Amino acid sequence: MQEQTQNTADNNENQTADTAEERKGIIETGTVKTKNSRGTIYCLNIIGQIEGHMISSPQTKTTKYEHVLPQLVDVEEDEEIDGVLILLNTVGGDVEAGLAIAEMIAGMEKPKVSMVLGGGHSIGVPLAVSADVSFIVPSATMTIHPMRMNGVVIGVMQTFEYLKKMQDRIIDFIVRHSNIEYEQFKKLMLTTDEIANDVGSVLFGEKAVECGLIDRVGGVHDALECLYGMIEGKKRKNKTKKEA
């Protein structure tokens, strides 16, 4: 009886420790790992501004690539994690940092589903389409616009060529990982009569799906069901391989 009581106490302590660790993960990195009978899912938040090589102001909410990239490596190598849910509410930010995260997500073997909540603007677009399946809630928006450059700009042809090459990198990634055509995306990016004092387009939930940029309109339940379906499909495939 005493041994049973001790085991119960140990289990309670372990559960408390796990809960504390989960809370710490949510507070520090905005991530959480959930587990049920259908599988274990790692939830990654990409929020605020995508921070690059320069530190943003303390008042700005940021996603730091030096935090996200190692997390994704850890997730890919963790045998307990079956799939990844990526939640996006970002204004955009550093192009190279955003593309680095997007390429990392796209290169992962584990099932991945992304969901745009609130906004998936600018470099948030390639992040949204980097998953295997992308969702957007009806009220969310996505802003597509030409690439911008901060700081000192040298007014020579090489600068404009560099901008064009960087822009083509972004467009190529988006076209490869979504169902939108190259010319259609470029047309949306260069629209001049939609955004005041700017060039580009704003797409709401349904419109983003209609043009082929995002796969489906839906909420968190739809995204989770899709991810669990992909996880179950992968488990069946692996089981068939082992039996063969």
List active site positions.
122, 145
Task: List the beta bridge partners of residue 43.
Answer: 32, 85
Provide the residue type at 22 as one letter: E
Q: Rounded distance, CA 23 to CA 11, Å?
A: 18
Provide the residue type at 82 as one letter: D
Q: How far is CA 112 from CA 12, 35, 99, in A?
A: 32, 16, 17
Residue 135 CA to its chain's centroid (Å): 11
Task: List the beta bridge partners of residue 201.
Answer: 144
Q: Rounded distance, CA 12 to CA 215, Å?
A: 43
Inter-residue contact 91 to 48 (CB < 8 Å) = yes
**Angle at the Cα of 70 (from 176 to 148), degrees rounded to 5?**
50
